Structure 1
């Protein structure tokens, strides 16, 4: 280790010591902490994040704290799940602010792994889930879910948590992770948590801060059009017609296009042409430099 590197490491250690919540950056230290909790008979929950925490993330932490004795929040901006290098570059990094938000809630550890803890030299493994990863965001972001599955597998194994908490806002991701855990026999319960929204219906996202004032004003139209479509389908309107009308409403509100707007089965995400069983209406649409996604339950009347 060079003098410069040693100095940087010492500075990082000093900053971590002053952090609002205990920080672990190495899996060995994290595993030692989890092993101690296990010896004490304590259950462990994990909330995986990429940081830039907002109320949606904090709601997951609260759910984890209600269901587990000890809670780990992970923070890792995973390069393998970004299709656009600019999106990766622009993704907000707010570690200190994130730690300050977590401290009052009572989360026990913030795990911020160094890159080599996740992808060491020579890393050559990709975890891929077929079926539920196809279509929707899987079409628009090739390789995205492979990146998600790979990093989630690593984090679940490194934390050895009993329960992992994921928001329903990324519903396809939730379905993919649920399938991953089931297929690979990873001993963790995936706990889904409801989407947190602004008062006007916009689903919370770390990327929302990049919306201009005008874009932010237009953004709630996505959810509003989706809710109207579900109401129409429940009233007996054909699915295709209700979705076409919703697309028109979204574009009329200022969105340049709609990437997808589809009715899928709530369990397994099979495409649906009639609202005859529990379903989800899922959408993605670009607005300025932000790609908004949303989904809502669409059960039969």
Structure 2
């Protein structure tokens, strides 16, 4: 038997075995009369306070018509409610009702208990081996895994043709998916880059790009507003590269540049929805100095200003 055939045989044997295990673990789903897709829709709604049908379609890679039928069933059962966006009448946010949250909690508890029963006969080391092997399979076969994600990240500090267009795309796509921002946000980002390029001067401005496999996976920029004041803008890390300290490195380089150019203060504008970024700003030495409620980019949010005094 060739090596390729042996690999295929091993994988098929594991697939037959694991199909039986999954059947046991999903018994509670059959008892609830819900399909696996329906349970996943419940789970995804339970992870977000503001979610749209479009976001679910993209996230789950599910047919829009099938998702629509699931949501209609959930509304009929009283598990899900729709709320029209006050800023955009075409947008509806989906939320689990109290009844829906109760159902999801019950399914989670049953699933947790069944997994504990599966692992209970195994010694602790074997349990860790099972979990580690599953994590490896997930990472290697994940459709989101790309050759770029496995490569080392390096930094570039000069703009090249196509960079700004790709950064605008990243901002529009990621903020729509993660925060529900509409097209007005992408228009805003376009304008900010247009204004920036008109006055771009490497003597006072710098953009920091994290690159992996010739793809931009992170960014931040410092724009000199005056002799003593600078603004930090376009801070972003691609989801595939989060959790590696990349955001921290970008901010450190940006602040170091501010000190090199002898700026006395650097500030940034963000919103209350960017909680993870807000935590990174605080750790980097920024403090929130202002906040106002706005209806912006299809959302009700608080625009926030953070400042850092570089003379302290």
Q: Same fold (TM over 0.5)?
A: no
Q: Which has the larger radius of gyration?
A: 2
Q: Which has the higher contact order (CA 8 A, sep 6+)?
A: 1
The TM-score range, normalised by the shorter chain, is under 0.3
Q: TM-score, normalised by structure 2?
A: 0.23
Structure (1/2) with the larger strand percentage: 2
TM-score under structure 1 length normalisation: 0.24
